[in-house]
Chain A
Amino acid sequence: MTGFSTLLYKEVLRFWKVAMQTITAPVMTAMLYLLIFGHVLEEHVQVYPGVRYTSFLVPGLIMMSVLQNAFANTSSSLIQSKITGNLVFVLLPPLSHWDLFGAYVLASVVRGLAVGAGVFAVTAWFGDLHFAHPLWIALFALLGAAMLGTLGLIAGIWAEKFDQLAAFQNFLIMPATFLSGVFYSIHSLPPFWQTVSHFNPFFYMIDGFRYGFFGQSDIDPATSLAIVSAFFLAVAGLAIQLLKRGYKLRH
């Protein structure tokens, strides 16, 4: 157990030591999104009856920050360790693939939630938020962070240079988060794009998370939970297999 907890501690300490970059900066970015989009669209868009656009936006921004930072944590930690070569310190000890998976992903969950809490703290007073179903909020935040942490782990294992990681992040993760309904409800989209959105697992995370606040959502939250859970199990299974085989790590 202590091998695992040491790695978890190290991974948390790693981002905590550069908290300005890993926590404060994404909180600032989310606040800018809220100020600009909220200001421009407040008068023009109403997604749910009785919910102001700024209020609608806040949970989406929180979740987007959680997801992006969970992904960034595992992926950047791994690629840096691979490129500088200090990954050997983790590969030489008797850490199992479960230890590696658990510690890396859990640390990314911690970072994701820390940023999410920060975004919440600075944006909550812009829009009057309710907490219709707090348990759903916690559940989707945890699962979403774990899933993106796992995707970051896979990207970090696969990528051999920063360029490849950037491609993974900018052409896969960023579009998937931006097109998941952070800024809008998919019901405002043309039918074709509504259908496309249903193939985006990120959509279910944000929709379910938002349900926890407003008690309203595009999709039944239980369905979203099932889909997100299934997707998480699939990527977690893949990541554990890669770690077990030593894919690109013990070549």
Chain B
Amino acid sequence: MAAIQISNVEKSYKSLRALGGVSLTVEEGEFFGLLGPNGAGKTTLISIIAGLNRADAGTVSIHGHDTVRDYREARRRLGVVPQELVFDPFFTVRESLRMQSGYFGLKKNDAWIDEVMHNLDLTPKADTNMRALSGGMKRRVLVAQALVHKPPVIVLDEPTAGVDVELRQTLWKFIARLNREGHTIVLTTHYLEEAQSLCGRIAMLKAGRVVALDETRNLIRRIAGAQLSVRLSRGELPESLLPLVSHLDGAACRTEFTLRINDYAEVEPILAKLREAGAVIDDMHLQQADLEDVFLQIMEGEK
């Protein structure tokens, strides 16, 4: 059974169409990335999954439980880390976590609360009032609050925005562990290197629609390929290679350029053409594309 099943979800705010028929399936145990520029509809989609927003059309289910009709079962299986840094100023860290645990119907949950706090380095702050915490610490508490009921599906909406390196590492170590233990993780982030290293599969949203959906390595291979950067000490780029150019430095003399290739086998013929044209290579390097290249290509509307 799918961890999250999203079918034809539509949502508009007055004249703004935030989501235009989104369908996605996240399988159990996946580490899934939801990427897109600001305003693409990521947070709206997450809010609908979490029941914080109601879709105009379409359905979402968590482990087969509809988030509207069967909301209690759906919400029990879902932990959400909201993007906004929110907290309740009346309570300490431990009180906040106990309270959140209680809302999910769990009374004697202190052992797990202690473990979550330990894993997020929150233990020294357990009895500190939320108001007195730094932004990074508040973010940790938000993550902890999403985990108090041991949800099988965890959704993190930009959990590392404005967070220092240390917390990012602590957080990803813990989340990766939860994923290994079988939790399904859905993540949105603007740090594409994080998404690339963590997510097995990625969906990209643009203007409320899914514009790409594949395994991370397939996306990178299929869409961006690799790049060959060359600097010539003599001669210039032959006409026959112009269609491959993705980037040209020193346009006038055409002596520094980057070529896009889909396969390493294309390297040899390119070198041969350069040799035939009488060019001599001064420097050259081959670069595997990364998620950022894919992201930019897709968002600029290229294929």
Contacts and interface: CB of A to CB of B under 8 A. Distances in A.
Interface string B73-113: 10110101010101111110000100110111111000000
A13 B107 CA distance: 17
Interface string B51-66: 1111000000000000
Nearest to B84: A85
Interface in A1-44: 1-3, 5-7, 9-10, 13-14, 17-18
A7 B90 CA distance: 14
A96 interface: yes
Contacts of A89: 86, 88, 96, 99-100, 103, 145
Interface string A53-77: 0000000000000000000000000
A13 B96 CA distance: 12
A10 B86 contact: no
A94 interface: yes
Interface string B137-151: 000000001000100
A94 B101 CA distance: 11
B72 interface: yes
B202 interface: no
A9 B51 contact: no
Given A88-B82, A250-B54, A2 B99 contact: no
5 contacts: A9-B102, A88-B86, A89-B99, A92-B52, A94-B76
A86 B86 contact: yes
Nearest to B148: A93
A95 B84 CA distance: 22
Contacts of B73: 94
Contacts, number: 77
A167 to B, nearest CB: 24
B105 A2 contact: yes
Contacts of A7: 102-103
A238 interface: no
Given A89-B145, A96-B72, A2 B107 contact: yes
A90 interface: yes
A14 B52 contact: no
A20 to B, nearest CB: 14
Contacts of B103: 3, 6-7, 89-90, 93-95
Would you list the 6 A-B pairs with minimal beta carbon distance, nearest first?
Answer: A6-B102, A93-B103, A94-B72, A85-B86, A94-B75, A86-B86
A4 B201 CA distance: 38
Contact of A246 (B54, B87, B88, B149): B54
B90 A92 contact: no
Contacts of B106: 2
Interface in A225-251: 246, 250-251
Given A84-B86, A86-B87, A93 B104 contact: yes
B65 to A, nearest CB: 10
Contacts of A95: 103
Nearest to A17: B90
A7 B98 CA distance: 11
A95 B106 CA distance: 13
A151 B52 CA distance: 23
Nearest to B130: A86
Nearest to A245: B54
A2 B105 CA distance: 5
Contacts of B105: 1-3, 94
Nearest to B70: A94
A122 interface: no
A143 B72 CA distance: 30
Contacts of B96: 89
B50 interface: yes
Given A2-B106, A3-B104, A85-B82, 17 more contacts: A2-B107, A3-B102, A3-B103, A6-B99, A14-B90, A18-B90, A84-B88, A84-B89, A86-B88, A88-B82, A88-B86, A89-B145, A92-B80, A93-B103, A93-B104, A94-B71, A96-B72
Interface in B202-222: none
A91 interface: yes
A1 B72 CA distance: 13
A59 B80 CA distance: 48
Contacts of A9: 99, 102
A13 B71 CA distance: 27
B104 A250 contact: no
